[in-house]
Structure 1
Amino acid sequence: MRNKAGLNLETSFKASDQADMGQSELCWTANVFVFLLLLPGILGWGREGHYAVCKIAEGYLTEDALSMVRELLPASAEGDLAAVCSWADELRENHDYHWSSVLHFVDTPDFFCNYNCSRDCHDSHRHKGRCVTAAIYNYTMQLESAYKEITSEVRYNLTEALMFLSHFIGDVHQVWDTMIIESALKRFYHSNLMLMIQAIQSNISDEWHNEVSAWRNCTGNHTACPNPYASESISLACKYAYKNATPGSTLEDSYFLTRLPVVEKRLAQSGIRLASTLNRIFASEVKVAEV
């Protein structure tokens, strides 16, 4: 099994439809959900998760970074980074972009709870440098090396670099598949993604306020440092995703309720770190950490 940035299990939930929303609490009957092996075609955070990551990031971009992001976005995005954050998933089956499918995850061996770049960053043919962390470094360097002198010849490539980078920073923070997000939307947020995003933004300003500065930091004052993010995801997967769970087992609702806060925090961290990376890219005196 492959740890896709820390995940090799898919959750699916069987929830009771009998849920009533009171003024301050949500009541429902007991729910269960089943673990299945994550198949290669499963998408990471899914459209909702990636949209949330980029929407959160937009609120923390500097004026310079926001201006450059909007300049590079395709016209179809209408200035909204979140609108294109699932683009990299949408083209995975496109023959012209088939090469990118391996860039969404890292290949950590079973029972290992840490990320080692030389061991885990490769494709199915063991070609090194073919994984999500290497992709983040690559697209970071593309953007920062060219943005000051953007010409029509390079603009298209930079637009793709921006969309890939924004997606892959989401992927490297992924600990579970999209089902936890989808179930949370239905149970707590009336299937309204913006309500979930607003709740996460509120926690960033309140509950996690003292942690945000550390989230922004990049070791050695570098521009991009995805390796620690991958290590965090794999460690969290071992601690929360796999603990007391085996493929095919049925888990009580308490599992979902205790893991959801971890998922929401990872979405928050991903958004903050995407914004911080873009802020560093579109600033002077930037550097990229060595892989």
Structure 2
Amino acid sequence: MGGSEGFLIGKALILLLLVPGILGWGKEGHYAICKIAEKYLTEDSLAAVKQLLPESAEGDLAVVCPWADEVRFHYHWSSALHYVDTPDFKCNYKYCRDCHDTYGHKDRCVTGAIYNYTMQLASSYEDIKSESKYNLTEALMFLSHFVGDVHQPLHVGFTGDLGGNTIVVRWYRRKTNLHHVWDTMIIDSALKTFYDSDLAIMIQAIQKNITYGWSNDKPSWEHCVRNDTVCPDLYASESVSLACKFAYRNATPGSTLQDDYFLSRLPIVEKRLAQAGVRLAATLNRIFATQAKIAEA
């Protein structure tokens, strides 16, 4: 490794350590998304997922959904795959314009990663025991994580503030940054305020909303135009729109975010968790339904 390359990687690692919210919803958010997804998996998909999961997961997809954040320093190349930055104040997303890393390498962003790992699973999964040039277990874990990430509005935030990471605010009395508020702190505050600090109760409440409050919306969440297997560009477009309407609004540098912000943004966060779970399940169902038919043929 050259000296300049080592310096750049070291600088990137320092930035990640200083900015806690740069890479994910947080363990609770990712766990919730995958636990919701498990409920909507078909029998074929559930069987395929359980075969692909590492033994340590004991058949539970939700257990490994935070994995992509946990390995980000070992797989340093994966850091750029957790988000996509968009032009400041444009409030829109375009794959060809936006999906690249900080060095300009195309397709290296969260939507590109979702396309890539969906392709790996869809093109390689016929017989779990067959040889594949891809690590399908890692493909499943990356895909499950990144579908969650693209639904976090500030993972499709502005380039100038690194998706809210450089916007320093207070969450009640605690100093933090806006990205971290959306990754973790809204969920943490909701757990303490409304769900007796029990993530399982929060997940049950979101699932109840999917069954009743959002039942008419669920089919449109699951659908992809042109019968595509996955459609992350739609999810990214939704996220940047929500970032402009809700995440950035009334959250200027130095501001203190309290009840007004929390109570008006919590429904957005819970709906995005729900949409991510439903869409992850729909994507896996399409992947494994196709391969089940191939295997039968």
CA distance in 2, matches of 1:41, 1:262: 18
Equivalent AA in structure 1 for residue 200 of structure 2: M
The farther-off stretch of 111-120 and 265-274 is: 111-120
Name 2:264's counterpart in structure 1: 258
Equivalent AA in structure 2 for residue 121 of structure 1: C
Q: 1:41 to 1:270 in 2, by over 3 A?
A: closer
Structure 1 position 104, deviation (Å): 0.2
- Deviations 1:140-194 (CA, angstroms, capped at 9, x unpaired): 0100111113336439700000000000000000122211101111111111000
% same residue? 71
Structure 1 position 245, deviation (Å): 2.1
Alignment of 1:115 with 2:88, yes or no, is: no
Name 2:64's counterpart in structure 1: 84
CA distance in 1, matches of 2:129, 2:254: 53
Alignment of 1:190-269 (within 5 A): 190-269=196-275
Name 1:151's counterpart in structure 2: 129
Equivalent AA in structure 2 for residue 72 of structure 1: L
Contact 1:72–1:155 (Cα < 8 Å) also in 2? no
Task: Name the SS for the 2:111 alignment partner.
Answer: helix
CA distance in 1, matches of 2:261, 2:20: 24
CA distance in 2, matches of 1:218, 1:235: 19
Name 1:178's counterpart in structure 2: 184
Alignment of 1:39 with 2:19, yes or no, is: yes
Name 2:42's counterpart in structure 1: 62
CA distance in 2, matches of 1:46, 1:104: 12
Contact 2:218–2:278 (Cα < 8 Å) also in 1? yes
Structure 1 position 244, deviation (Å): 2.1
Structure 1 position 119, deviation (Å): 1.2
Alignment of 1:14-29 (within 5 A): none
CA distance in 2, matches of 1:115, 1:124: 17
CA distance in 2, matches of 1:156, 1:74: 15
TM-score (norm 2): 0.80
Contact 1:43–1:178 (Cα < 8 Å) also in 2? no
CA distance in 2, matches of 1:284, 1:91: 30
Alignment of 1:135 with 2:104, yes or no, is: no
Higher helix share: 2
Structure 1 position 56, deviation (Å): 0.1
Equivalent AA in structure 1 for residue 201 of structure 2: L
CA distance in 1, matches of 2:102, 2:146: 19
CA distance in 2, matches of 1:155, 1:180: 40
CA distance in 2, matches of 1:79, 1:221: 29
- Deviations 1:225-273 (CA, angstroms, capped at 9, x unpaired): 1001001000001001111221221134111001000100000000000
Aligned length: 247
CA distance in 2, matches of 1:197, 1:237: 23
